[in-house]
Structure 1
Amino acid sequence: MSGTASSDQRGLAAARISGLAPGKLFGLLGDNRRRGALDLAVGTPSAPTTSPVAIEAACEAIRAGANQYDHPAGNLAIRRSIAASFVPAADPETEITVTLGATEGLAVALLALVDPGDEVIVLEPCYENFVSAIALAGARPRPVPTRAPEWRYDHAQLRAAFTSRTRAIILNSPANPSGHVLSSGELAEIAELCEKRNVTVISDEAYAAYVFDGISYASIADVPALRDRGVVIGTLSKSHAVSGWRVGFLRAAPEITRLLRQVHVAVGGAGVTPLQIAVARAAESDPSFWQPADTLAAQRDLATKVFGEAGYRCLPTEGGCYLMIDIRTVTREDSETHARRLAEQAGVLTAPGTCFFTGKGGENLLRVAFNRPVGLFDEVRRRLTAFSLSG
């Protein structure tokens, strides 16, 4: 009887489940968080500081009764604010859709624009949820490697990745985990290939607020050749330290937006009404709302210094909130083994580089999230020093 039940349960799983990313990162965290380890593994922000104005506005909206569904595309006030943050400004009525974070936005974009059996190009290393979202759409990832320390793709490999089955390419700039910011030349080449092959660009721009050292940044909405064939995914989770609010958005041309909204209604229905109102009110009261005061440059420099002092080779980070470090200067262990030992013996959580590759890769890399209070890195230094002395 138990054998029959087990067999039936195996038959319940949809085939697409086998394509989901294995979730290695969260499997390695486990008990170490409860033991007081410092979490530099995940990007949940503790810097910058969440806007007190937004918090108070959320409380006021809830008390005032704004607790029911709003427009499925999003509260009009927040859509207007998001639209105005683009240059040129987007149309809040026809080009902006508020989603339940960037995660729903990514799933919506792929479900609306990609069919089962299609291929979706990703630049690797990449955020592992890209792979899962592609699998949920029934499509296949087509990874194109980028190589350290500059994390640039090979032109010939990128061109070869575009085939008759290519329906979309996912971009992420600044990139998680590498921190690479796509240059104007890279965006121009991608635009040329997408126009030639009639491919849609899905651009995760979650870290657009954090670009360092005077490097020029461009959204795909700034590139005329990509603006009307692209979907921008944005979120306030990292830039405004409200990851639990699940306020994200999609920006796309009207004809694409119509498709996105149909899927969004089917998947998420509508966003969180009082939190959308809170964001709109906070943005209205602060002209610089969309440009956080804390740029994370100091944290980037501190993380680089602290891990460099511990003997690791820190790779350049142009933007975002992550630092990639090469562990070969301190150990012959693979990244998963070393991350586990750092967590258990030093009380410092990091993300193994293997979490960000679809196949082999990242065995010599760790990812460090540095969107943390500046003072935290003194304790990280103390723990790493004790770890290296004991090792």
Structure 2
Amino acid sequence: MTVPAPRASSRVRGLVAGRIFELLGEAARSDALDLGLGVPGAPETSPRLIDLACDALRSGRNQYELPDGNRELRRWIAGTLPGDTDPDTELTITVGATEALMAAVLAVVDPGDEVVVFEPYYENFVNAVALAGGVTRFVRTRPDDWRFDPAELRAAFGPRTRAVIVSTPNNPTGHMLDESEWAEIAALCREWNAVVISDEIYSGFTFGKPHVSVAEVPSLRDRSFLVGSLSKTHSVSGWRLGYLRASVELTSIARQVHATVCAGAPAPLQEAVAKAAAEDPGFARPTDDLRSQRDRVVTLLEKIGLQCRLPDGGCYLMARIPPEAGESSDGFAHRLVREAGVLVAPGTVFHADPAAGADHVRVAFNRSSEFLDEVAVRLASFHTGVSGTGL
């Protein structure tokens, strides 16, 4: 008699496969240089921050922290955010931005509720909605400016709309929402009584255009979650330290999810960041603004025939494969690994319909100068099949 396999829940069956990590496996097997994932190679992790973490571990700060988070750390983060944020009632330290996102979605989305997500999107946005039992309503943004069409956004809202998830600066496009775009989103959220979940983990990296936070939109202040993180700005992605800012009411709900899911973020690491911030008035700012890395990566990509638009912010850009190359983003990404030993992420990963991203690849540029030197060497003999300027 055949014993049936355990059945996966409908929530798990709705998850999007982590296709970027499949490419990472290929890269590891071929010793490729990774420009596909956002694991930071720049800015450099602060040696002082590491020392303070070691001190906290050795001093015995190895047990539970308050689920809400280290008080001094919350006070410091609140002071870095636009507007007024009460660190005691409106801010929670989370296990990375991923847990902050999940706590926000679970706090407001019931099974069957609809959540608007802009595409191209970060995979975890779709997965968070799936785990909550929600239904994703996609709104396309398109090159070259990666703005949404207001009519398409309005058409995505309806009686079951509960939330909108945004990313600004955007992963993967680098686009930053401006005041007019926020006004469109805010008007629809008021009309349909929806909340905004705004992923702003890349707000420390901007290239001339001002970053506008959801916390600066008056009508959204009490109907929004701001998701933040130290992972990219301070190169401690493995520490899993994020935060969630929301109104008192929304924070109270999200904290119930947060405490149930993980009980709190790592105590010694929170203390290390709080002490580093107290010592250095400039700690909130990344030590490297990534502008030179962005410009250099654009030059490298254009020389092999790709077409790039300078991103407004963040640490990613979308590079277009010209039609005359006759190659999809999946084929291009796999060939780049095989022939040049460089990993990028195919644009198909960031769309509900893979065909929509078949002519773009996402490239991460938060890398050290030495790393990019090696990338330049490896790309010197690679050809897209179209004319570039040559390396």
TM-score, length of structure 2 as denominator length: 0.96
- Counterpart contact for 1:19–1:131, Cα < 8 Å: no
- Counterpart contact for 1:306–1:377, Cα < 8 Å: no
- Counterpart contact for 1:354–1:363, Cα < 8 Å: yes
**Counterpart amino acid of residue 305 in structure 2:** G
Give the aligned partner of residue 8 of structure 1: 5
Unaligned runs of 5+ in 1: none
Counterpart check, 1:249 vs 2:243: yes
1:15-72 deviation line (CA, Å, top 9, x unaligned): 1112111211111221322422100010000100111121111000111000000111
Give the aligned partner of residue 317 of structure 1: 311
- Counterpart contact for 1:207–1:320, Cα < 8 Å: yes
- Among candidates 377, 384, 388, match of residue 372 of structure 2: 377
Give the aligned partner of residue 30 of structure 1: 25
User: 1:47 and 1:34 mapped to 2: Cα distance?
Assistant: 24
Give the aligned partner of residue 389 of structure 2: none
User: 1:16 and 1:389 mapped to 2: Cα distance?
Assistant: 40
User: 2:196 and 2:301 mapped to 1: Cα distance?
Assistant: 36
- Counterpart contact for 1:119–1:139, Cα < 8 Å: yes
- The offset of 1:358, in angstroms, is 1.4
Give the aligned partner of residue 197 of structure 2: 202
- Counterpart contact for 1:118–1:165, Cα < 8 Å: yes
- Among candidates 332, 340, 347, match of residue 346 of structure 1: 340
Higher mean alpha-carbon deviation, 225-234 vs 320-329, is at 320-329
**Counterpart amino acid of residue 108 in structure 1:** A
- Counterpart contact for 2:342–2:378, Cα < 8 Å: yes
- Among candidates 196, 210, 224, match of residue 216 of structure 1: 210
- The offset of 1:87, in angstroms, is 2.5
Higher mean alpha-carbon deviation, 262-271 vs 326-335, is at 326-335
Counterpart check, 1:283 vs 2:280: no
Counterpart check, 1:106 vs 2:101: yes
- Among candidates 113, 116, 125, match of residue 120 of structure 2: 125
Give the aligned partner of residue 240 of structure 1: 234
Counterpart check, 1:85 vs 2:93: no
User: 2:307 and 2:151 mapped to 1: Cα distance?
Assistant: 29
User: 2:229 and 2:29 mapped to 1: Cα distance?
Assistant: 29
Task: Tell me the SS of whatever aligns to 2:117.
Answer: strand
Counterpart check, 1:328 vs 2:322: yes
Give the aligned partner of residue 295 of structure 2: 301
Aligned residues: 385
- The offset of 1:329, in angstroms, is 5.5
1:288-330 deviation line (CA, Å, top 9, x unaligned): 1111120101100000001011111112311110011111256
Distance 1:142 1:52, change over 3 A: same
- The offset of 1:389, in angstroms, is 9.1
User: 1:29 and 1:327 mapped to 2: Cα distance?
Assistant: 21
- Counterpart contact for 2:44–2:287, Cα < 8 Å: no
- The offset of 1:198, in angstroms, is 0.6
- Counterpart contact for 1:33–1:39, Cα < 8 Å: no
Distance 1:389 1:17, change over 3 A: closer
**Counterpart amino acid of residue 39 in structure 2:** T
User: 1:338 and 1:234 mapped to 2: Cα distance?
Assistant: 33
Task: Tell me the SS of whatever aligns to 1:8.
Answer: coil
Counterpart check, 1:266 vs 2:263: no
Unaligned runs of 5+ in 2: 387-391
- Counterpart contact for 2:304–2:382, Cα < 8 Å: no
Counterpart check, 1:41 vs 2:36: yes
Distance 1:379 1:259, change over 3 A: same
What is the correspondence of 1:61-100 to structure 2 with a 5 Å cutoff? 61-100=56-95
User: 2:233 and 2:81 mapped to 1: Cα distance?
Assistant: 16
User: 2:295 and 2:305 mapped to 1: Cα distance?
Assistant: 15
User: 2:257 and 2:52 mapped to 1: Cα distance?
Assistant: 30
User: 1:225 and 1:47 mapped to 2: Cα distance?
Assistant: 36
User: 1:272 and 1:97 mapped to 2: Cα distance?
Assistant: 13
1:103-126 deviation line (CA, Å, top 9, x unaligned): 011111111110000010011000
**Counterpart amino acid of residue 369 in structure 2:** V
- Counterpart contact for 1:114–1:139, Cα < 8 Å: yes
Task: Tell me the SS of whatever aligns to 2:325.
Answer: coil
- The offset of 1:375, in angstroms, is 2.7
- Counterpart contact for 2:305–2:384, Cα < 8 Å: no
- Counterpart contact for 1:339–1:350, Cα < 8 Å: yes
Task: Tell me the SS of whatever aligns to 1:375.
Answer: helix
Task: Tell me the SS of whatever aligns to 2:41.
Answer: coil
1:189-225 deviation line (CA, Å, top 9, x unaligned): 111111111100000001000111x201111011111
% of aligned pairs identical? 51
Give the aligned partner of residue 60 of structure 1: 55
User: 2:281 and 2:245 mapped to 1: Cα distance?
Assistant: 21
Aligned-residue Cα RMSD (Å) equals 1.4
Task: Tell me the SS of whatever aligns to 2:299.
Answer: helix
Counterpart check, 1:163 vs 2:139: no
